[in-house]
Chain A
Amino acid sequence: GENVGLHLPTLSVQEGDNSIINCAYSNSASDYFIWYKQESGKGPQFIIDIRSNMDKRQGQRVTVLLNKTVKHLSLQIAATQPGDSAVYFCATNFGNEKLTFGTGTRLTIIP
């Protein structure tokens, strides 16, 4: 069945350090992957996406890595700031148009 999971429910990182949030998926038919950030009281905010024909994609301070062999997705945030504290979700569409979300990792940046 369809399943998307995050490896750690919580993660604490010192301000200025890099953080890595991991996500695993089960369906090899997945062809589109997205990372969202959700701050308290707000809806999920798009961070970065990647399609299955790519292994890596970079944005501003963020990098998404896709390993299709082991069905693993990661989000790297460089030089973390207090504003990066939020819940991060990975999502994928399993090739059937609707997004399926992981359970989320709560990232806390320690000043």
Chain B
Amino acid sequence: KAGVTQTPRYLIKTRGQQVTLSCSPISGHRSVSWYQQTPGQGLQFLFEYFSETQRNKGNFPGRFSGRQFSNSRSEMNVSTLELGDSALYLCASSLANPEDTQYFGPGTRLTVL
């Protein structure tokens, strides 16, 4: 079974631009969570989607948004990029329930110049 895939793997943007990252979960997984990983803050939860609905949300500003499609694929969008948004963005999928194990993708490395 294929793992979680994320595209693109690397991205360079400038301040003020917006970016869209994509995540394809493991087949059969219906929950997708997004995390931001930085050296200073570690892994921080952004949001979780299940059945095309945001089920849980972390403490990030409204510039960070996401959505999930009927095939469980998910996208996250960051608008008006800031230098501090440079990070590794990780997507994780799980079957359905909060207690189900989350499996991570390789991440998208975003650099904001």
A and B are partners in one complex rather than unrelated chains: yes
User: Which residues in A have some Cβ–Cβ distance to B below 8 Å?
Assistant: 31-32, 34, 36, 41-46, 49, 51, 89, 91, 93, 96-104
Q: Shortest CB–CB separation between residue A108 and chain B, in angstroms?
A: 17
Complex: chain A residue closest to B48, CB-CB: A98
Q: List 15 A-B contacts (CB under 8 A).
A: A42-B106, A42-B107, A43-B104, A45-B104, A46-B101, A46-B103, A89-B42, A89-B43, A91-B43, A97-B48, A97-B98, A98-B98, A99-B102, A101-B35, A101-B44
- Please name all residues of chain B whose beta carbon is closer than 8 Å to the beta carbon of A44 when the two chains form the complex: 43, 90, 92, 104
Q: Which of A36, A43, A46, A96 has the most CB of B within 10 A?
A: A43
Q: Decide: B55 and A97 in contact? CB cutoff 8 A.
A: yes
Complex: chain B residue closest to A36, CB-CB: B104
Cross-interface CB contact of A93 among B4, B55, B99, B106, cutoff 8 Å: B99
Alpha-carbon distance between A43 and B105 when the two chains are bound, in angstroms? 6
Q: Decide: A104 and B104 in contact? CB cutoff 8 A.
A: no
Alpha-carbon distance between A93 and B48 when the two chains are bound, in angstroms? 13
Alpha-carbon distance between A82 and B107 when the two chains are bound, in angstroms? 24
| Interface range for B | 20 to 34
B58 CB within 8 Å of chain A: yes
- A-B pairs with lowest CB-CB distance, top 9: A43-B104, A97-B98, A101-B43, A44-B104, A98-B45, A43-B106, A103-B42, A98-B56, A43-B107
Q: Decide: A49 and B101 in contact? CB cutoff 8 A.
A: yes
- Please name all residues of chain A whose beta carbon is closer than 8 Å to the beta carbon of B45 when the two chains form the complex: 98-100
- Please name all residues of chain B whose beta carbon is closer than 8 Å to the beta carbon of A102 when the two chains form the complex: 42
Alpha-carbon distance between A94 and B98 when the two chains are bound, in angstroms? 11
Alpha-carbon distance between A41 and B35 when the two chains are bound, in angstroms? 15
Alpha-carbon distance between A96 and B98 when the two chains are bound, in angstroms? 8
B33 CB within 8 Å of chain A: yes
| Known A97-B55, A98-B33, A98-B58; contact A46-B43, beta-carbon cutoff 8 A | no
Alpha-carbon distance between A51 and B104 when the two chains are bound, in angstroms? 20
Q: Shortest CB–CB separation between residue A13 and chain B, in angstroms?
A: 22
